[in-house]
Amino acid sequence: MAKLIRASGMIKFGTSGWRGLIARDFTFDNVRLATQAIAEYLNGLPNPGSRTIILGYDTRFLGKEFSLAAAEVLAANGLEPLLCERDAPTPVIAHTIRARKALGGINMTASHNPAQYQGLKFSTSNGAPAAPEVTRQIETNAAPPGAGRLDV
């Protein structure tokens, strides 16, 4: 597995996900960083039962391409990404997670935020947005060295 260089910016989850301005905060490198942090969280779960992660996106700029970047990271971590064939709303992703008994899902959407934003929502195996204790762990996994994380 390739080592990712921790970005200087922080990945911080707010209500139901991490969002940022496209090209400033929400970049391919940061999407890969956040996805790697999610993969580390998922790979640390005891007896997950499934390795499948549902990936979706909305109609925002580069949504599909960001999802493909996330899929590459998940696959490199031994997870099985399943990408939706086309744009899909968040409730469809949540339903698909449950129907396929997936380990979780990632949806590229900034919801109600202005068009210059993109976002990443992580949902757990029940299809619901990740709880604060889960997103705190993901943030810790994504933190730069010296910010509560040691890279070896």
Q: Are 86 and 80 in contact (CB under 8 A)?
A: no
pLDDT value of residue 82: 98
Closest CA to 44 of 141, 130, 129: 141
Collapsing DSSP to helix, strand or coil, 105 comes out as: strand
Give residue 15's pLDDT: 78
Query: Which amino acid is it at 41?
Result: Y
What CA–CA distances, in Å, run from 60 to 8, 18, 99, 104, 119?
Answer: 25, 15, 25, 22, 9
80-83/52-57 β-pairing: parallel
Name the active-site residue from 8, 111, 123, 125. 111
pLDDT of 9 reads 56
Under the banding of pLDDT at 50, 70 and 90, the label for residue 152 is very low
CATH architecture designation of domain 21-142: 3-Layer(aba) Sandwich (3.40)
- Please tell me the predicted confidence (pLDDT) of residue 2: 41
CB within 8 Å of 130: residues ≥ 6 apart: 13, 104, 122, 123, 124, 138
Computed over every residue of the chain, the mean pLDDT equals 90
Residue-wise pLDDT tens digits, 82-115? 999 999 999 999 999 999 999 999 999 998 899 9
Exposure of 111 by Cβ count < 10 A (0-12 exposed, 13-18 middle, 19+ buried)? middle
Q: Does the active-site annotation cover 123?
A: no
Q: pTM of the entire structure?
A: 0.89
Weakest mean pLDDT among 27-31, 46-50, 107-111, 147-151: 147-151
